[in-house]
Amino acid sequence: MSDKKFASQADLEEKKVSFDRLSEHAYAYTAEGDPNTGIVVGDDAVLVVDTQATPVMAQDVIRRIREVTDKPIRYIVLSHYHAVRVLGASAYRPEHIIASRDTYDLIVERGEADMKSEIERFPRLFRAVESVPGLTWPTLVFERRLTLSLGKLAVEIMQLGRGHTKGDTVVWLPQERILFSGDLVEYGATPYTGDAYLTDWPATLDALAALNPEKLVPGRGASLQTRQAVQEGLDGTREFITAMFGAVKRGAAAGRDLRSVYKETYAALKPRFGDWVIFDHCLPFDVSRAFDEATQYRDPRVWTAQRDKELWQSLEE
Ligand SMILES: [Zn+2]
């Protein structure tokens, strides 16, 4: 038996929240590697990028927003479908919940299974889970790009390519060159790739870099407030994706099974990335998806609470 507890069930320590002002219009709610929320304050309304995992947890975001503005929170943007990002939406009482068509399709196809899987993986991240009223359904679904004007402030909501999921959506403030990337970029936190398109992800990072952002709010980790920090976030994410998928592809091509490929990849990545948060949590799911993509599954398979546990037992015990 390994001493690793399933996923993040042993991760119980509360994190410290930061609420950073990035510009006149943009704020980042971050928490030492826990999922981030972005806030855009327009002339007439507030837009929130990712909601936190439960309505009770979202109340802390709302409290911070109310310290800087009393404008109505009208829009929620879902960077992707993962439960830990979207299930707090009802707390904001938004007029619209905006998502890409691909994100909407994923909620239809696997939202229910994903909710159960994520709640078991990360109990700490679903504080007051009983306050979740059910799945979060988008009310406004777009393809490729949606331009929203919050008074004079332009907000570009864009799907620039697949990576962390097939529905990945970024929010871009062109006048201020500020990007909210969702889990396409992480900083000091391990990218989760259980639902990823690893072959496509680097080109999507190229598309993000081509916007030439001055500041970037990643999916997890501190807000990146200089061009150098933005570059580090993009480079670190790319380095992890490339190293992990590369190791798995080599193992799969050599005919080794998932368990041996996992052990080799874990050992190869641990010295460089082992101190990034949720490394031990992510690696089994990351390697499993990478192995699937390298062998026979073009699209990620649905994770269920049951499949999570079977995988964990097959790799860690
Ligand atoms: Zn995610």
Over residues 170-198, the pLDDT tens digits come to 999 999 999 999 999 999 999 999 999 99
Q: How far is the CA of 195 from the centre of ligand 1 (A)?
A: 8
**247: pLDDT strictly greater than 80:** yes
Q: How far is the CA of 254 from the centre of ligand 1 (A)?
A: 30
Q: How far is the CA of 3 from the centre of ligand 1 (A)?
A: 26
Q: How far is the CA of 239 from the centre of ligand 1 (A)?
A: 18
**51: pLDDT strictly greater than 70:** yes
Percent of all residues in the chain with a pLDDT value above 70, rounded to a whole number: 99
* 108 token code pair: 């239809």
CA distance from start to end of the chain: 5
Q: How far is the CA of 233 from the centre of ligand 1 (A)?
A: 16
Query: What pLDDT, in 10s, does the model give residues 63-86?
Result: 999 999 999 999 999 999 999 999
**2: pLDDT strictly greater than 70:** no
Q: How far is the CA of 220 from the centre of ligand 1 (A)?
A: 9
Q: How far is the CA of 183 from the centre of ligand 1 (A)?
A: 5
In whole angstroms, what is the distance from residue 269 CA to residue 246 CA?
A: 11
* 174 token code pair: 């062109």
* 168 token code pair: 């990945």
User: Within 10 A of 242 (CB to CB), how many other CB atoms are there?
Assistant: 13
Q: How far is the CA of 86 from the centre of ligand 1 (A)?
A: 10
Note the pLDDT of residue 1.
42
Please, is 14 exposed, middle or buried when counting C-beta atoms within 10 Å of its C-beta (0-12, 13-18, 19+)? exposed
Q: What is the band of 4 on the pLDDT scale with cuts at 50, 70, 90?
A: confident
pTM across the whole model: 0.96
Note the pLDDT of residue 3.
62
For residues 19 and 220, is the Cβ–Cβ distance under 8 A? Answer: no
Percent of all residues in the chain with a pLDDT value above 90, rounded to a whole number: 94
Q: How far is the CA of 219 from the centre of ligand 1 (A)?
A: 8
Q: What average pLDDT does this structure show over 250-266?
A: 98
